[in-house]
Structure 1
Amino acid sequence: MPDQKNVTVVTSKFGSVLTYQDDLVTSQILQYGNHTRPEFAFATALLNHDSKVFDLGAHIGTFTLEVLTKLGGEGHVLCVEGDPRTFDLLRMNINQQPRRAQTLLRNCFVGSGSGLEFVHDPDNTGAHHLRPSQQGTIVAEQLDSLVQSSFEPDYIKIDVEGAEFSALGNSEYVRTRRPHLYVEVADHQLARFGHRKEDLNRMLIDLGYRFFGNVGARNARHDLYKIAEIANLVDYGDFFDILCVQRGTPACDALAEAAAMSR
């Protein structure tokens, strides 16, 4: 069934935003000022005024709004959201921002393959997802085609409810250019497409990534976070977000130093 939730306006740390009534994401905005507020503050700490960012699985724009704050009107952002109704809210939330950088919006699903169907979560619109189906008619957009039609990102946030391995693993751009990655990792979601945390862990380590996480509060009414280096994704937990940065880069060295100071 299509999502029939009513749309409402709530006050966030970014001002008024359009969102859904009786929804997990909305309750976090009301309580904390943004969805996973400390997480997003941590995730965007590496951004510069001229960063080029992909937000894949943008929902109503809670991550993108944090990005736009960090970019301050410069840089480039591509926001991608598959659900048409949620995409409309995303578009309106972004368009009302006074300093939007160079922002592109795409209404499509990200992943790899066809024969997919869209599944609605009645309690959390942020958990809507794709799954393989013999009757499915959706074709997912590959990451590399988004690069070709927009710009080359130096930072990719990907939260596509289990299609993360498919999207990243089939990307020549990720294999060769190795941008910063901020990835949602959940075993039960990856299993929808026949993958596990072990697969994602092995692929990213083989590509030369090191992992950093926020071990402070995930939800709070502040933007404070605590950085820790994570040895591997397998032993870290069942559901988390992780920042992946190339070994030997200044960004990686800065995160490793911050993690050491936080011990």
Structure 2
Amino acid sequence: MKKVVQAVRRILNEKHPIRFVMSRILLRFRINLSRTLFFNNKLDVQTYLHASSAAHKLFIGKYDATLDSAVFSKYIEEGHTVFDVGANIGMYTTVAARLSKSGIVYAFEATPQTFSYLLDNVRLNDVKNVYPVYAAVCNEHGLVSFFEHKNSHEQNYISKGDGGTMHVPALKLSNFMDSVGVKSIDFLKIDVEGAELSVLKSLGDYINSVRVVYFEYTNRNSSRFGYDLEEIIQFFQNAGFEIFIPVMQGDLLVIKPFDLTAQMDTRNLLAIKKEEYV
């Protein structure tokens, strides 16, 4: 009885209790709905209510896209080349496509089911400048072991050894850029649950042609891949980048200098080529 009372209290404390219950049921049985949700009203970006944790966070009012959307809007301009590594279901892929307009967005997603959701959302939003790529991005080529989280597609990641739940194709960004003839990247977004440094190393000398990198750093996730914050910061500094922390102050995006000595577990960071920062 105590557990029942606790469960009821949790539901009633939700912003949208009925939607929360619906969400749990839909996710539990992996039911996809054709219903669409607005992710970004200003840019007219929508997403289907797939059986995806990202879509359901939006559905129950727990997806705060304010910071990410502000960063995208500040640094992506018409004609830009954007790489979205860890594109998930494509909500930010579509935002980038709207902003870059005549440019192009390369969207990389490694989980088969999530990749199909990405394709659905690209079609839903009728963006013609998205180049979807079904692959994990890392510093190796071929097949890699991949762990698919049971309850959250946002937490899928490359697994060392054979500890994953599947094998997926993997590529290096340097090889990919050679194959499609891309010479530079204006905006690189990376959200790969700890494999960020491997993605960066896969660029090879192309790291010198990247203007802005937006990525998430989490101590727990990076430790899974054997590196820490200091190592990834050193990588960027060696490549001529400065590191910043983007934060929202009210409705205003503020770019603050990064302090390596500050206590930090999870944080979205910006790496900007020194000559690009204004």
Task: Return 230-239 or 26-35, whichever deviates more.
Answer: 26-35
SS of the equivalent of 1:154 reads strand
Does the CA contact (< 8 Å) of 1:157 and 1:183 recur in 2?
A: yes
**Percent same amino acid among aligned pairs?**
19
**Structure richer in strand, relative to its length:** 2
Gap runs ≥5 in structure 1: 254-263
Match of 1:120 in 2: 148
Please give the alpha-carbon distance, in whole angstroms, between the structure 1 residues aligned to 2:29 and 2:136.
20
Secondary structure in structure 2 of the residue aligned to 1:245: strand
State the TM-score, normalized to the length of structure 2. 0.76
Looking at structure 1, the residues matched to 49 and 260 of structure 2 have their Cα atoms a distance apart, in angstroms, of 32
CA contact (8 A) 2:85 2:191 kept: yes
Tell me, yes or no, if the aligned pair for 1:115 and 1:133 is still in contact at 8 Å.
no
Paired with 2:194 and 2:54, the residues of 1 have a C-alpha distance of 19
CA RMSD of aligned residues (A): 2.7
Query: CA shift at 1:165, angstroms?
Result: 0.4
Check conservation: 2:97, 2:104, Cα contact below 8 A. Answer: no
Q: Which amino acid aligns with 2:156?
A: H
SS in 1 for 2:189: strand
Gaps in structure 2 of 5+ consecutive residues: 1-27
* Alpha-carbon separation, structure 2, partners of 1:4 and 1:147: 39
Query: Superposed, which structure 2 residues align to 1:178-257 within 5 Å?
Result: 178-216=210-248, 224-232=251-259, 235=262, 237-249=264-276, 252-253=277-278
Aligned 1:57-96 pairs, distance under 5 A: 57-71=86-100, 73-96=101-124
Output the TM-score relative to the length of structure 1: 0.80
| Equivalent position SS for 1:60 | coil
* Partner SS, residue 197 of structure 2: helix
- How far apart are residue 43 of structure 1 and its match? 3.2
Structure number with higher relative contact order (C-alpha < 8 Å, ≥ 6 residues apart): 1
Contact 2:37/2:48 (<8 A) preserved: no
Name the count of aligned residue pairs: 241
Does the C-alpha gap of structure 1 residues 51 and 119 become closer, same or farther in structure 2, counting only changes over 3 Å? same
Instruction: Name which one, 1 or 2, has greater alpha-carbon Rg.
Output: 2
| Structure 1 stretch displaced more, 240-249 or 132-141 | 132-141
